[in-house]
């Protein structure tokens, strides 16, 4: 197993040196939003300080420089997931990327057409499809989740019919940490004639992604979980899949020609990038993926897995603790409850010890209900967390439980 120099990684994240409530910050909320390395901060600052303009529309030097930087980011992201440049659409986040596809599919949805989702989806991969149910008569079906947090993959073929238009599934649950077999799901869905959309907002952070090998029609992710900025996301779509979608928004950039009596549209990806795009944010995301390209992703994933295992071992025998989701091979996310305590109270007390965790439904209410919960706390580990932080979390959680004992 390759050594992972976590201290060298941490040194690139300025915020990780701060204190919270007089304690060293232990940031365990990266599944909600990850911290940013100096490479991203510097890249975005440099655009604003030295070479900013709008893109694609000017002929002066600053416009050309900014356009080149913006499109270079698209190239970096395309390489990052093994896609063509024309298959990468910039959006304002993973949520907008799902909405873009759902809206486009809605142009051809007929009453009774089916969308297959899973019970473990984030709201961003449920609500846009409910729009098609409410407004167009689409039928939603859900793949169940087993008690250990695995997807009940055996149930998927029985949910597919000749009316199934889309199977939309998360690659990695933001609550359970479960990693789903996307290539197998895509094979089953395509055999039934359905398209496949993957929510990769968590998955792309913790494992290399090859959209061609996965053979998915659409793959979406956000920048802010991938050590990049907020306000930027990515939609990958197979060339033919994007070409079949109508425009999502209208405005500048997405047009071919505008006349009073008729309009023509640009080819993808620009067809889906109406108006001034998130220029600085896209460049920041490009910097983030280039930074990640300098990291041994396998070693980083092994490091995260060791942290999770260390925490679970440190809490062995804690009969006041319930961990939700123990699927084999899961990612380093621990959703949990403490007997006699509300998740919000647990998070607030942990914060006194400098430990930042999430509390609530994690935008996954159906999954919470599946496990009989109204809320849980969640600790999510990233490549910059340390064994010392894992131990600090165990100690702080044990101390927190004492408040409710």
pLDDT at 3: 66
Q: Per residue in 342-354, pLDDT tens? A: 999 999 999 999 9
242 contact partners, CB below 8 Å, separation of at least 6: 86, 87, 89, 268, 269, 271, 272
Say yes or no: 148 and 163 in one domain: yes
Q: Per residue in 82-122, pLDDT tens? A: 999 999 999 999 999 999 999 999 999 999 999 999 999 99
Of 269, 293, 317, the domain-final residue: 293
Q: Which helix (H) or strand (E) holds 133?
A: helix 127-136
Closest CA to 103 of 239, 248, 251, 237: 248
Say yes or no: 147 and 260 in one domain: yes
Which band of pLDDT confidence, cut at 50, 70 and 90, is reported for residue 4? Answer: confident
pLDDT at 1: 38
The whole-chain average pLDDT of the chain stands at 97
Say yes or no: 219 and 88 in one domain: yes
Q: Is the dihedral of CA 116, 119, 120, 126 positive or negative?
A: positive
pLDDT at 2: 46
- % of the chain at pLDDT higher than 70: 99
Q: Picking from 58-62, 243-247, 334-338, which range would have the lowest pLDDT averaged per residue?
A: 58-62
CATH, residue 249 = 3.40.640.10
Say yes or no: 248 and 148 in one domain: yes
- Cβ-based burial of 366 (10 A; exposed 0-12, middle 13-18, buried ≥19): middle
Which segments within 130-273 are labelled E, that is strand? Answer: 139-143, 164-170, 195-199, 218-222, 233-237, 255-258, 263-265
Of 243, 268, 293, the domain-final residue: 293
The residue range of the domain holding 171 is 41-293
Say yes or no: 117 and 194 in one domain: yes
What count of other Cβ atoms lies within 10 Å of the Cβ of residue 3?
9
Say yes or no: 288 and 302 in one domain: no
Say yes or no: 86 and 227 in one domain: yes
Say yes or no: 173 and 307 in one domain: no
CATH, residue 350 = 3.90.1150.10
Say yes or no: 320 and 209 in one domain: no
Tell me how far apart the alpha carbons of residues 372 and 293 are, in angstroms, rounded to a whole number: 40
- Distances from the Cα of 286 to the Cα of 43, 212, 232, 328, angstroms: 9, 20, 10, 32
Q: Per residue in 124-134, pLDDT tens? A: 999 999 999 99
Q: Domain for residue 73, yes or no?
A: yes
In this prediction, residues 307-322 reach a mean pLDDT of 97
Q: Per residue in 213-261, pLDDT tens? A: 999 999 999 999 999 999 999 999 999 999 999 999 999 999 999 999 9
Say yes or no: 275 and 375 in one domain: no
pLDDT at 122: 98
Say yes or no: 158 and 95 in one domain: yes
Please report where in the chains the tokens 């910097």 appear, as a residue.
287
Name the token pair of 336. 């949990």
pLDDT at 58: 85
Tell me how far apart the alpha carbons of residues 219 and 217 are, in angstroms, rounded to a whole number: 7
Say yes or no: 106 and 207 in one domain: yes
Known catalytic residues are 363
197-227: b (≥16 Cβ within 10 Å) or e: bbbbbbbbbbbebebeebebbbbbbbbbbbb
pLDDT at 57: 82
Domain count, the chain: 2
Q: Domain for residue 1, yes or no?
A: no
Residue 190 clears pLDDT 80, i.e. is over it? yes
Q: Domain for residue 365, yes or no?
A: yes
Of 277, 293, 309, the domain-final residue: 293
């Amino acid at each position: 197993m390759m050594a992972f120099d976590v201290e060298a990684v941490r040194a690139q994240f300025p915020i990780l040196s701060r204190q919270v409530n007089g304690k060293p910050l232990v940031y365990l909320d990266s599944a909600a939003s990850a911290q940013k390395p100096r490479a991203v901060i510097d890249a975005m600052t440099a655009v604003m300080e030295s070479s900013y303009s709008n893109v694609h529309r000017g002929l002066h030097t600053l416009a050309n420089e900014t356009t080149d930087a913006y499109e270079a980011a698209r190239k970096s992201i395309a390489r990052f997931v093994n896609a063509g440049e024309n298959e990468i659409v910039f959006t304002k986040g993973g949520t907008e990327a799902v909405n873009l596809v759902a809206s486009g599919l809605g142009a051809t949805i007929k009453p009774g057409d089916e969308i297959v989702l899973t019970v473990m989806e984030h709201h961003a991969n449920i609500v846009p499809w409910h729009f098609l149910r409410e407004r167009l008569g689409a039928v939603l079906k859900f793949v169940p989740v087993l008690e250990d947090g695995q997807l009940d993959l055996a149930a998927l073929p029985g949910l597919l019919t000749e009316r199934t238009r889309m199977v939309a599934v998360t690659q990695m649950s933001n609550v359970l940490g479960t990693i789903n077999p996307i290539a197998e799901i895509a094979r089953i869905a395509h055999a039934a004639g359905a398209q496949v959309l993957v929510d990769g907002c968590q998955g792309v952070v913790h494992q290399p992604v090859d959209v061609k090998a996965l053979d998915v029609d659409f793959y979406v992710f956000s920048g802010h979980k991938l050590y990049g900025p907020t306000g930027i996301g990515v939609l990958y779509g197979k060339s033919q899949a994007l070409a079949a979608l109508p425009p999502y928004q209208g405005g500048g950039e997405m047009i071919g020609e505008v006349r009073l009596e008729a309009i023509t549209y640009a080819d993808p990806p620009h067809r889906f990038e109406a108006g001034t795009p998130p220029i600085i944010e896209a460049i920041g995301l490009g910097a983030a993926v280039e930074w990640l390209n300098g990291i041994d992703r396998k070693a980083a994933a092994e490091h995260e897995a060791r942290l999770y295992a260390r925490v679970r071992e440190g809490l062995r025998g804690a009969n006041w603790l319930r961990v939700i989701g123990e699927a084999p091979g899961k990612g380093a996310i621990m959703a949990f409850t403490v007997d006699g305590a509300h998740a919000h109270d647990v998070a607030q007390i942990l914060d006194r010890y400098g430990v930042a965790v999430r509390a609530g439904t994690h935008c996954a209410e159906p999954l919470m209900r599946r496990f009989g919960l109204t809320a849980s706390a969640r600790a999510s580990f990233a490549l910059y967390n340390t064994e010392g932080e894992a131990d600090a979390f165990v100690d702080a959680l044990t101390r927190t439980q004492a408040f409710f004992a």
